Amino acid sequence: MKTPRRFQRSQARNSGQPPGLDRPAADIIGMRLNKYIAHAGVASRRTAGDMVKAGKVKVNGEVLDNPAYQIREGDVVEYNGEVVAPSERFVYLLLNKPRNVITTTNDEHDRTTVMDLLDEPALKGMRLFPVGRLDRDTTGLLLITNDGDVTTRLTHPRFETAKIYEATLDKPFSTLDLAQLSAGFELDDGPFQADWARYARENDPLTVSLQIHSGRNRIVRRAFEHLGYTVEKLDRTYLAGLTKKALPRGFYRYLTDEEVRRLKYFK
């Protein structure tokens, strides 16, 4: 049996209650079924739609496979035999993920997950989920929330969410290959092109910073591998306007109200 790694909350956490939104009944009536499930914290809106189409959701005891179904007064929605309902409060946590932690809500091999790092009893009963993924060896910024709309805005390709990574490589990175990252090239699953790429520090050709909008699996590691390098360390330092300022590795904090507004309406 593992002992969960627990971390003290960051002192950057806001004072008072975390930002949240009340959910009056009038906001729920007429809501699309996939959005309802997403706001219940079960999954992102996109994934919730797939779950509905796959027949995994019941409304009033009957399987309903139409994500566009509009919720009516008195409807009872079930997923996996459990009644679900939109949260009364949205929660937004920014975690500086350490290495050897899995980006998932649970792990069948009993490895430490990002959810194990949330050390407040009040959070344990909430249907929170990580937005996007960082692989086990990648560190840095990860948003955890129960807001399906924000999840969609950060993960859907059409919103082109900006992310900055710092990669430490197995050998000096050439200036020619630095230009290649910005010029772009083809990978097995499609094109890759960084918005920009540069050495992270002066006189350090082993460490490269780059900004991308793609969210494809292991895209940064695969881009460097394509150019003949192995990424020894990878850290996400920026996510949709959020930075690691005053947030040590393994710590998390609540977003401020202003940060939440920017996430909801960023371009």
Name residue, tokens 């959070």: 123
Long-range contacts from 239-242, C-beta under 8 angstroms, 24+ separation: 239/140, 239/141, 239/142, 239/143, 239/154, 239/161, 239/162, 239/163, 240/143, 240/154, 240/161, 240/162, 240/163, 240/266, 241/162, 241/266, 242/94, 242/141, 242/143
Say whether 235 is catalytic: no
Classify residue 56 as exposed, middle or buried by CB count within 10 Å of its CB (0-12, 13-18, 19+): middle
Q: Is 112 helix (H, G, I), strand (E, B) or coil?
A: coil
Residue 7: both structure tokens together: 């971390």
Contact 54, 113 (CB under 8 A): no
Residue 8: both structure tokens together: 């003290």
Residues 219, 136: Cα–Cα separation, whole Å: 14
Catalytically annotated residue among 135, 137, 170, 189: 135
Cβ count near 179 (within 10 Å) = 10
Residue 24: both structure tokens together: 């009056």
Residues 22, 88: Cα–Cα separation, whole Å: 5
Q: Which residues are catalytic?
A: 135
